Amino acid sequence: MATARHVGMVLGMVAGILAASASALAGTPWRFIAVGDSRGPDNGINAPILTEIAGRIVAEQPELVLFPGDLVEGSEDTGELIGQLTNWRDTMQPVYTAGIAVYAVRGNHEDQGSVEAWNTVFAGPCAMPGDGPPDEINVTYSLEHKNALIAGLDEYSGHTHRVNQVWLDERLAVNTRPHVFAFGHEPAFKAAHEDCLDSYPSDRDAFWASIGQAGGRVYLCGHDHFYDHARIDDQDGNPDNDLHQCIIGTAGAPLVVFDGIYDGSNSGMIPRQQYYASTYGYVVVDIDGLNVTLTWMQRVDVDDYVAMETWSYTALPGPGDLNADGYVDAADLGVFGGCMAGPGNPPPGDCGGADLNGSGGVDLLDAAMLQRLL
């Protein structure tokens, strides 16, 4: 019978083989961009600003873009809405052509018309992931990208000003990635607009708690036409575990002014403004292992964008990430091989994370679980 030592040696050799081809790529830093609200007078969009931002996105070389709603002005006429959304897609064509994935959700202006218009334009290679609830396919969805789970949330499909919490809970329950990014159109905590997730405080609170419990630290949204970064103080005395709300309604919609007073139903939490600007721009999100850095790129002149706010946080490692580098890969397999102690034997040294099933020992059952996470 194979001993724990023998199994550990085999795992170590396998790890060495895999590492030569996989681990170098697995831990590569990556980035995405978030920006929303591009509606305007040019067949539904603000063409000059959206064209600028599309060019900036290509120059930033992200792997994907998140666009939290109000792409266009909207219309109750399906044909007109299709024309506006097609114009948006055509204006963003340089991004598609560059091989940058584009993920969008509907805003209240898209919700003026039929979802048929959305599904007509965002189909084929431009379609959103198809894993959403049966009646929200292509508008609510999730995707796994490298070491992150990203959830795009429609806040109108029969549950206006709310997310589909049942679906989201189910999706979060099976997530093993350390980073969780949620984006939707409406702010969770009221800034300027009265109509937002704040309209249903208990549902908003459940949503907020689910993101935090899953390891998420930031919710990306739009609706208000400015940039506003707020730390949502849960008043537990530890600001490092607070979630953040980033309103990025800055892709061309008419700008408005915010007085910085968050006077909604905050359920005992305190939104604390970190940075605000009533101008156009976008946010660059850089992920390097467990570390996340968000940079607000503010428009200061025609086609001139400057970094005006940068902030960062570190996520907790997910299951199987034994070396805490933000990935479950061959390097973790190598660490696991040195942790095998056999059934019922306490894990040696700093190997507690290798006891994936919580049995008190590191054994073949844990090895099988690790294999499924690779």
pLDDT at 23: 46
User: What's the confidence (pLDDT) of residue 296?
Assistant: 99
Q: Taking the model in full, what pTM does it have? A: 0.89
CATH number belonging to domain 28-314: 3.60.21.10
pLDDT at 4 over 60: no
- Residue range 285-299, pLDDT digits in tens: 999 999 999 999 999
Task: For residues 215-224, give the mean pLDDT.
Answer: 98
DSSP string, 117-156: HHHHHS-GGGPPPS-S-GGGTTTSEEEEETTEEEEEE-S-
Mean pLDDT lowest for which of 7-16, 178-187, 212-221?
A: 7-16
Per-residue pLDDT band at 126 (split at 50, 70, 90): very high
Tens of pLDDT, residues 15-68: 554 444 444 445 799 999 999 999 999 999 999 999 999 999 999 999 999 999
- Measured between alpha carbons, how far is 374 from 371 in angstroms, rounded to an integer? 5
DSSP 8-state symbol, 254: P
What is the CB neighbour count within 10 angstroms for residue 70? 27
180 by DSSP, 3-state: which?
strand
Q: For position 363, what pLDDT does the model report? A: 73
pLDDT, tens digit (0-9, with 9 covering 90-100), for 65-108: 999 999 999 999 999 999 999 999 999 999 999 999 999 999 99
Q: Which residues, 6+ apart, have CB-to-CB distance to 143 below 8 Å?
A: 103, 129, 149, 150, 152
**Does the pLDDT value for residue 145 go beyond 90?**
yes
Can you spell out the DSSP letters for 258-289? --S---S--TT-EEEEEEEESS-EEEEEEEET
CB 130 within 8 A of CB 137: yes
The full set of domain ranges for the chain reads 4-24+329-373, 28-314
Q: Of 8-12, 60-64, 355-359, which gets the smallest average pLDDT?
A: 8-12
Give the pLDDT band of residue 9 (cuts 50, 70, 90): low
Cβ neighbours for 318, distance < 8 A, ≥ 6 positions apart: 147, 176, 177, 178, 215, 328
**pLDDT category of residue 264 using cuts at 50, 70 and 90:** very high
Indicate the range of 68-72, 239-243, 316-320 predicted with least confidence: 316-320
Q: Report residue 345's pLDDT band, with 50, 70 and 90 as the boundaries.
A: low
